[in-house]
Amino acid sequence: MQIYSKTDVGLIRRNNQDFCLCEKISDDLAWASVCDGMGGANGGNVASSEACNEIGRILSEELKPGMKEHDLRRLMEKAVAAANSKVYDMSCFDDDLSGMGTTVELAVVTGERVYIVHAGDSRVYRISKNSIKQITKDHSLVQQLVELGQITPEEARYHPSKNYITRALGVEPELETDFLTVPFEKGDIILMCTDGLSNYFSDDELLSAVKDIKEKKELAQSLVDIAKKCGGSDNITVAVLINE
């Protein structure tokens, strides 16, 4: 298993409010976290970096090989909850950080399974052979409109309210998250990204872009480069976990 990641400010924004941390513990145990911050000139980058670092601190101390699913889920949710409390408390005691928050994607790979904790509109995809599936569901206003049948998924990509998210880490004292698990088979790729990448691609376009990149170690960097060629209007962060 290999992990590669890249974060980039893009071509329009002055600050990078995305943050990413990854760690390969052994050949069959690794984790990655991707956050997309929001809130003020400094709030977004503080929220995303503090969240990732708090998650990383707890996982580095407590994530061990051979953990059962219920223990792993408890640990992942504990780490995200601790990050939520830290970011929320910081926003309450510093006026310059008031209202800050961040999306959060946390993936842990153990052998042939991937476990995910998710809140916000950053995404996790599973790419397997010639197929791609978005594992996470966006917590956003436009996703709610899609589910109500008021707009199509294609219309959602260009909707003027597509940046309004309905869940974010650090905004409230408690955070509701989704917990998901999928297989991680030989040749699979788990792709985690902020909307600075996903806004430019349909699922089929993203699959085609990944297939066109021959050197998998260049995957994260190459996808960032493609997003910048498409306009780079937001910060761009990509993390990939590859089952070789």
The predicted-structure confidence for 189-206, as pLDDT tens digits, reads as follows 999 999 999 999 999 999
How far apart are the C-alpha atoms of 50 and 183, rounded to whole Å?
30
CATH code, 143? 3.60.40.10
Task: For residue 116, report the phi and psi dihedrals to the nearest 5 degrees.
Answer: -135, 135
Percent of the chain with pLDDT over 90: 89
Domain count, the chain: 1
Mean pLDDT for the stretch of residues 213-239: 96
Bridge partners of 240, per DSSP, are 4, 191
How far apart are the C-alpha atoms of 195 and 164, rounded to whole Å?
12
Higher-confidence position of 130 and 115: 115
Q: What is the pLDDT of residue 136?
A: 98
Total number of residues shown for the chain = 244
| Residue 213 pLDDT exceeds 80 | yes
Exposed, middle or buried: residue 123 (CB in 10 Å: 0-12, 13-18, 19+)? buried
The predicted-structure confidence for 129-150, as pLDDT tens digits, reads as follows 889 999 999 999 999 998 999 9
**Chain-centre distance for alpha carbon 57:** 18
Global pTM value: 0.96
**Where does the pLDDT of residue 158 fall: very low under 50, low under 70, confident under 90, or very high at 90 and above?**
confident
- Nearest residue to 53 (alpha-carbon basis) of 14, 95, 82: 82
210: domain range?
A: 2-242
How far apart are the C-alpha atoms of 6 and 122, rounded to whole Å?
15
Kindly state the tokens that stand for 20.
């990413």
How far apart are the C-alpha atoms of 10 and 235, rounded to whole Å?
5
**Chain-centre distance for alpha carbon 88:** 19
The predicted-structure confidence for 81-104, as pLDDT tens digits, reads as follows 999 999 999 999 999 999 999 999
